[in-house]
Chain A
């Protein structure tokens, strides 16, 4: 017998029992819709993180101080004050490290920023003129910090979008004054907003010349006499040169610091990406598996109904066998029936899930906006899983039907 004959028989049986068929499908619909929706929430979060890290700049390396060890005591990563402005200049020196196009050291701490009657706690970041280019910041109003201002330790500041908004509301801050640690700074520019995302607010900062930061806002010197920086941002000209650049910077710093054991860490943007991807990936997997449970429940619902159906239609099976249906024919009939329920239910579930994830997208949840992303692979997977559930949970009832002895089946009741 041809497969489409089995399909015809199965469809007829399903339409003969519309209420039961649709209730069985409902189990699948809910399961698949839940998987699609929750995975889309996870994927949305993943995309946000990816975008955010990409918005830091392109082909970036982040050099940070390592931990120090004095006697047997090791301090935390990044707590050492081993990186200096001179290190940054050495990396930036033409030909020192292949592939390096720009270097932007920064020195960061948190402080209270006061302007008129307003005050706000924000990140204070000492930077050089290259910082805007390397970290992909655009100036919305006014100017960015110039090399001259860095050289002359100028008392100027560029405000991040959210700090500007908090301190000056809707008036232009350019030309106004702010105070940090009793030092008065003149605002020369405001950055364009980058947006707040999962791993922190990139607009909540105040940029000042790094020299001003080192000399006037927080004076720190290393044991070796250099002025410390907290991170050196290095931009490499393309993806292929990243490994070579990491190697070059490492060699250079080891030589400069005269250490055998690294007192610094170099991470690439990719490393950060991967670390965050891992976290959000686990999150997505968790959501998906919770939803997957309801999918399994839906599958068991199919099996339950198919078993009832086999029992109820024992006589029909007997008649079919008596007129020449082979085991395979009966098996296919019931298998296709459960497959149709699962696939139609899965299909409707996919559409429902896509609809739901649109509804969920944009909902505010503890300061974060939920963004969803329905991905093709999740849809394909859901469809395949539906089919697999149809076969898996259908095979037992179908086998039971196929094994029935014709004479017993005919005598049933």
Chain B
């Protein structure tokens, strides 16, 4: 699935050389649910951007689905991002003044896909936003915006979903909802999910945690006791569950078997 070898990334900011990655080796298999953790400046976001084909490494190799990505041109990378990767950002990065449906359709437009509307509606239903198709980002809560972003990542049926601090801007409840969606996608559809976080308990939702510090992997361990987001959500008091108060089926589209 993902195989990186001796990955280096060096930035130049003015005269200062920032060595963000200093020889990272890693393998992530199909169907894994992995968290990459580390303090600020550890290089975890840099690694994520390279994994997401948004950035190119200075040296080293990166194989995604057997394709050597580090040698690809701009447009070839765009095609990889479009077809193989769904990327979820901390700040959502939805197009402003554009409906949820149009936001989710965006990757399909660039893919030249057919039946775009239907696919986009389906993706939004999968994240429990079937009732919010025509809302614009500023009419949605943070959790809902992030779910639109996940729907946008899902819509092209990617082989991997990458998320950079997906719960960084969300409250506990919304965070658990997002984790629930990731866990369900991973469990029921076997989608590989890799995300970066610096919150310990969010990391515990995965099966494997990779710790990064100063541009190197310092530990790579399985999670002993995985937190199941749905159980946490069930334990939250109904008053806190604004989603249900508003009559929404939070994440039910994917959580109900």
Selected A-B contacts with CB under 8 Å, 7 pairs: A319-B95, A321-B81, A322-B89, A323-B106, A324-B78, A324-B111, A326-B74
**Shortest Cβ gap from A101 to chain B (Å):** 73
Query: Cβ of A346 < 8 Å from any Cβ of B?
Result: no
Question: Size class of A's contact patch?
Answer: 20 to 34
C-alpha gap A16/B78 in the complex (Å): 27
Q: What is the chain B residue whose CB lies nearest that of A403?
A: B74
Bound-complex Cα distance A363 to B79 (A)? 63
Main secondary structure of the interface of A (DSSP, over half): helix
A2 near B112 (CB under 8 angstroms)? yes
Q: Does B211 contact A (CB under 8 A)?
A: no
The distance in angstroms between the C-alpha atoms of A155 and B210, with both chains bound, is 122
> Is A410 an interface position by the 8 A CB rule?
yes
Out of A316, A326, A327, A329, which one reaches B95, CB within 8 Å?
A316
CA distance A5 to B113 in the complex (A): 12
Q: Which of A2, A5, A322 has the most CB of B within 10 A?
A: A322
Complex interface: chain A residues within 8 A of B54 (CB): 322, 406-407, 410
Question: Would you give the 0/1 interface string for A321-363, flagging 1 where the beta carbon is closer than 8 Å to chain B?
Answer: 1111111110000000000000000000000000000000000
Residues of A within 8 A of B74 (CB): 326-327
How far does the alpha carbon of A405 sit from the alpha carbon of B11 in the complex, in Å? 14
Q: Which residues of B contact A376 (CB under 8 A)?
A: none
CB of B159 to closest CB in A, whole Å: 14
Chain A nearest Cβ from B78, distance in angstroms: 4
Interface flag for B205 (CB, 8 Å): no
A326 near B49: Cβ-Cβ < 8 Å? no
Within 8 A of A (CB), among B88-116: 89, 93-97, 106-107, 109-112
A221 is an interface residue with CB less than 8 A from chain B: no
A323 adjacent to B82 (CB under 8 Å): yes
State which residues 244-302 of A face B: CB under 8 Å. none
Contact of A323 among B75, B96, B97, B152 (CB under 8 A): B152
CA of A99 to CA of B111, assembled, Å: 75
Known: A407-B49, A407-B54, A407-B55. A324 touches B112 (CB 8 A): no
CA of A16 to CA of B94, assembled, Å? 16
A239 and B78 CA atoms in complex are apart in Å by 68
Q: What chain A residues lie within 8 Å of B111 (beta carbons)?
A: 324
Task: Give the size of the chain B interface in residues (CB under 8 angstroms).
Answer: 26
For A2, what are the chain B residues with a Cβ–Cβ distance below 8 Å?
Answer: 112
* CB neighbours of B96 from chain A (8 A): 316
Q: Which residues of B sit under 8 angstroms from A319, Cβ to Cβ? A: 93-95, 106
Q: Name the B residues within 8 Å of A1 (CB-CB).
A: 109-110, 112
Closest to A315 in B: B93
Residue of chain B at shortest CB distance from A409: B54
Q: With A2-B112, A326-B79 in contact, do A320 and B93 touch (Cβ < 8 Å)? A: no
- In the complex, B62 has a CB within 8 A of chain A: no
Complex alpha-carbon distance, A279 and B52, angstroms: 67
Alpha-carbon separation in the docked complex, A222 to B69 (Å): 100
**A410 to B81 alpha-carbon distance, docked (Å):** 15
| Cβ of B8 under 8 Å from chain A | no
Residues of B near A65 (CB, < 8 A) are none
Judged by a CB distance under 8 angstroms, whether A318 is at the interface is: yes
Give the complex CA separation of A328 and B79 in angstroms: 12
